[in-house]
Every structure is written in C-alpha cells, then in structure tokens.
C-alpha cells in the first residue's frame, strides 16, 4: 500500500526497470570456493534407479547426437533467462578465465601487434610500447597465476554454474558414454583387466561390477583423440582446451600414418635399406612434409604422393648401393600397401594407432613409470611421441585438477544413482 500523499504510478506508463545482475556468491575461503562437493544443479543429483552395465551401454547408444537433458524433478526445465547485464558480465568473466588459463598452459602466449590502418609513426611506437608492457606484465604474472590457477578457475566456473545450471549437460553425456564403454569392455573382456593398457586406464577389478571412476574419466580423455567434429558437443569443461586437444589429435593421426608408412616400407624393402638410420629419417621427413597441415579427410590424397616419393627414394638408394632395382610387381606392392593405409580399417594402421593410444594412456597417470618405453614399431617417431605425450598429459592433468570434483559428483550419479558412495569412489 502506498503512503498517503504519494502518487501511485500507472503500471501502463511506468518505465521498466532493468533487471539487476545477481552478485556472485562469496567464497568462504577468499578466492577458493567451497567445492567439495561442488554445487551441482539439483537435476543432476535427483535419485534414479541403479543401472546395470548393459543399461549404461544401451542408454548411451540410443541417444541421438547432440542430445541434451533439461530435467528437474521429472519436469522439463528451460535454460534460465539472463538479462543483458548478466550476459555481458558472464561473457567478461569467461574471457578473464580463458586468458588466465591460456597464460598458464601456453608458455608462448603473448599480446601480438594487430595490423590496423596506417597511423603516424609516434602512435605506432606508443602502441608497441603498450604491447611490450602488456607482455612484460603477462610474464610477471605467470608464476603467480600458476600457483593460483586451479582455485581461480574453480571459483569462476562455480559462479558460471550458478548462473547457467545447464553448463554441465555435454560433460555429463561425455562421461556417461565413457562409463558405458568401460562397462561394456569389462563385461565382454574380463581377461583384459590385467593387461598394461587396462591397468594404465585404471580398469575395474574382476570382483567389481561398477567401473572405477578413474577408469571412466581416463576413457573419456582418450575418447577426445577420436573426436569427430559435428557429431557430438564438446564437454563444457574442456572447451578452453578444445583447440589444443584437436591439434594433439591431428598430430597423433599424422604420427600414425608416418609410423605405418615406415613399417610397411620396412616389411617390403627388408633390413638392407632400413638398417640405415639416415635412410629411415629421410623417408620420415618426406612423409611428414607431405602430411603437414592436412586434415584426416585428405590423407588418401597425401598417401598417393607419399607412395610415389617413397618408391623414388627406395629406387635411388638401391641404385647407389648397386643393388638390383625392384621388379614391377614389388614396386606395385610397395605403392599399393602404402596407399591402403588411407583406409581406417587397414590392419597396419589400426595396430599402430592402438599402440600409440596405449602409449599416450600411460601419460594419464602421474605414477606411470614406463612412459618412455615405446611399443614395437614406434621407434622412428619416438621424439615426436614423447613431445605429444607431454603436451597431452599437461592439458589433462590441469583439467583434472580443476574439474575433478565436478567429474566425481557426475560419476557418482552415473555409476551409483541414488546410492551411497563406495570405498574408492570418494576421490581421484
């Protein structure tokens, strides 16, 4: 009720007041949010009947690409509406978190000069001075950011999750798919639990019907190396590293082709030529140069050129050593086997890919002792694989530190819906 003497505004003519942005929740620990357990949306924590391994597999397989779940107590819940001010504030916070994340993970990150319309020389000099000062500030802040990046990103993501409770939908789908794969694998191949690959991924034990959360998470990380753009949405928790991981994925695919080409060539040519490290390195450099910058969709075209170049190098080497040249049948065999590597189900390519992924899976564990022991056939690309393994483990280790509490909360719901956490599922 209005006070006496005050005019009651006409609701039809009164101006609309803009919606005020909600203040970010304060942390009890200053910059460190309360994240154990993290404040996940209630719809992710609603009780559902427990699912078996078969149900997990069927559930993931039956979902269409891009499926998103928006439920709350059994009812559809549309994404929350944000005001323009809230959207701008959220975008600004995401930008800050992305820059801090990039500074920590990318040692080469720096502000670069933008080529704009020509200005007078003095303004150009001033712009260069500002850029140098900005890069100096970045270098000075990097050690501090590295010490506090985990807590900072956790805090910012928690604030983002409070505004956008649907921000873990694709992450949940990603982990659900990995859980279904691990469950199916443990059901169909229980004898593989003692294999080096299975142990490196933290596979489940024979006595346990529930996959180990670490094995599921690592399976999810390895699935990123098979990611097909456009078929599935990238997990929200990995969006800041998507470009980095896709570059690693491309490098892994290229190294697979290089190692397969060298293995096929070695089997056809024999040890006469391939006992020479200089010759092997020359073939490797030729193959790498012809694959440089090409996506997987153009590997078939590249392998056509590679087969011709390898045959030429082999012919020249045989001539220099006064060995008889290849017969037409052997030449056709060499070229044909190299070109067939373009097929995804090619036996040599599949074996090499499996060995490379097995090697990279060792880098997911901080306690791995044999990360420098290469599987057979990968020695020619050892240096490149070690570099890729280091980059891969660096990204994954940081991601697991930041989002581990969220992954654990999701996996408890996926693996043990409505049940108390078992021993060993309490942390990574």
pLDDT in tens, 120-176: 665 565 566 666 666 666 666 666 666 677 888 888 889 888 888 788 999 999 999
- Structure confidence at residue 33 (pLDDT): 38
Q: Which residues pair with 75 in a beta bridge?
A: 72
Map residue 270 onto helix, strand or coil.
coil
* pLDDT given for residue 164 in this prediction: 81
Residue 399 CB burial class (10 angstroms; 0-12, 13-18, ≥19)? buried
**pLDDT score at 177:** 94
What's the CA dihedral at 352, 353, 354, 359 to 10 degrees?
A: 90
Work out the pLDDT band at 340, boundaries 50, 70, 90.
very high
Looking at residue 372, its pLDDT comes to 64
Q: Which of 156-170, 209-223, 252-266, 374-388 has the lowest mean pLDDT?
A: 156-170
d(CA 320, CA 307): 20
pLDDT-derived band at 239 (thresholds 50, 70, 90) equals very high
Which candidate, 43, 264, 61, 41, places its Cα nearest to that of 164?
A: 41
pLDDT, residue 272, reads 83
Provide the token pair at 285: 């450099």
Mean pLDDT over 227-244 rounds to: 89
pLDDT value for 235:
94
Q: Identify the band that residue 201 occupies on the pLDDT scale cut at 50, 70 and 90.
A: very low
Alpha helices in 164-298 (DSSP H): 169-188, 196-200, 213-223, 242-269, 271-274, 277-291
- Residues 338/306, Cβ–Cβ less than 8 Å: yes
**Residue 342 in this model has a pLDDT that exceeds 70:** yes
Q: Specify the pLDDT at position 417.
A: 76
Higher pLDDT, 57 or 229: 229
- The whole-angstrom separation of Cα 414 and Cα 407 is 10
Q: Which residue has the higher pLDDT, 400 or 70?
A: 400
CA atoms within 13 A on the CB side of 233: 17
Write down the pLDDT at residue 418: 67
Mean pLDDT of 47-73: 43
Residue 100: band (very low, low, confident or very high) from pLDDT cuts 50, 70, 90:
low
At 392 the pLDDT is 95
Q: Which tokens hold the place of 335?
A: 């070229």
395: which 2 tokens?
């990204």
Cα angle 399, 400, 403; round to 5: 80
Does 5 score more than 70 pLDDT?
no
What are the domain boundaries of the chain? Answer: 176-415
* pLDDT at residue number 55: 53
Percent of the chain with pLDDT over 70: 56
Of 22-26, 62-66, 109-113, 152-156, where does mean pLDDT reach its minimum?
62-66
Give the pLDDT score at 293: 85
Q: What angle do CA 151, 155, 160 make, to 5 degrees?
A: 145
Sign of the torsion angle spanned by Cα atoms 83, 240, 224, 197: negative
Average pLDDT over residues 11-30: 44
Is 269 in contact with 314 (CB distance < 8 Å)? Answer: yes
Most confident of 73-82, 120-129, 180-189: 180-189
- Both structure tokens of 77: 């819940």
DSSP codes of every residue in 17-82: PPPPPPPPPPPTBTTB---SS----GGGSS------HHHHHHHHHHSPTT----EETTEE-PPPP-
pLDDT at 228: 86
The verdict on pTM exceeding 0.95 is no
Answer whether residue 82 shows pLDDT above 90. Answer: no
Quote the longest CA-to-CA distance of the chain: 113
């Amino acid at each position: 009720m209005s006070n006496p003497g005050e005019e009651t505004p006409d609701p039809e003519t009164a101006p609309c007041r803009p919606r005020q942005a909600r203040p970010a929740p304060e942390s009890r620990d200053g910059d460190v949010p309360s994240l154990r357990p993290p404040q996940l949306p209630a719809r992710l924590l609603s009780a559902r009947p427990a699912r078996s391994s078969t149900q997990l597999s069927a559930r993931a397989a039956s979902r269409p690409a891009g499926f998103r779940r928006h439920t709350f107590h059994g009812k559809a819940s549309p994404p929350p509406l944000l005001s323009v001010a809230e959207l701008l504030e959220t975008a600004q916070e995401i930008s800050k978190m992305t820059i801090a994340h990039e500074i920590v993970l990318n040692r080469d990150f720096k502000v670069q000069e933008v080529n704009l319309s020509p200005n007078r020389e003095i303004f150009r000099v001033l712009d260069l001075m500002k850029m140098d000062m900005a890069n100096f500030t970045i270098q000075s802040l990097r050690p501090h950011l590295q010490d506090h990046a985990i807590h900072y990103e956790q805090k910012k993501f928690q604030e983002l999750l409070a505004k956008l409770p649907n921000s873990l939908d694709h992450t949940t789908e990603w982990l659900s798919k990995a859980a279904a794969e691990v469950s199916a694998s443990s059901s169909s191949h229980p004898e593989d639990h003692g294999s080096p690959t299975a142990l490196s991924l933290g596979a489940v034990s024979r006595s346990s019907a529930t996959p180990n959360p670490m094995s599921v998470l690592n399976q999810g990380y390895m699935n990123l190396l098979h990611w097909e753009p456009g078929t599935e949405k990238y997990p929200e928790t990995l969006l800041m590293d998507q470009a980095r991981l896709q570059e690693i994925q491309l490098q892994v695919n290229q190294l697979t082709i290089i190692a397969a080409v060298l293995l096929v060539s070695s089997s056809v040519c024999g040890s006469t030529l391939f006992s020479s490290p200089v010759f092997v390195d020359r073939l490797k450099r030729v193959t790498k140069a012809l694959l440089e910058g090409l996506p997987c969709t153009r590997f078939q075209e590249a392998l056509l050129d590679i087969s011709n170049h390898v045959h030429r190098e082999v012919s020249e080497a045989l001539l220099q050593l006064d060995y008889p040249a290849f017969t037409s049948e052997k030449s056709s065999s060499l070229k044909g086997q190299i070109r067939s590597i373009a097929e995804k189900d090619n036996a040599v390519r599949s074996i090499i890919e499996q060995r490379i992924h097995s090697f990279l899976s060792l880098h997911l564990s901080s306690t791995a002792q044999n990360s420098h022991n290469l599987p057979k056939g990968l020695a020619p690309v050892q240096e490149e694989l070690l570099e890729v393994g280091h980059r891969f483990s660096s990204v994954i280790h940081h991601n697991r530190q930041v989002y581990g509490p969220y992954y654990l909360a999701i996996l408890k719901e996926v693996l043990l819906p409505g049940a108390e956490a078992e021993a060993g599922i309490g942390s990574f």
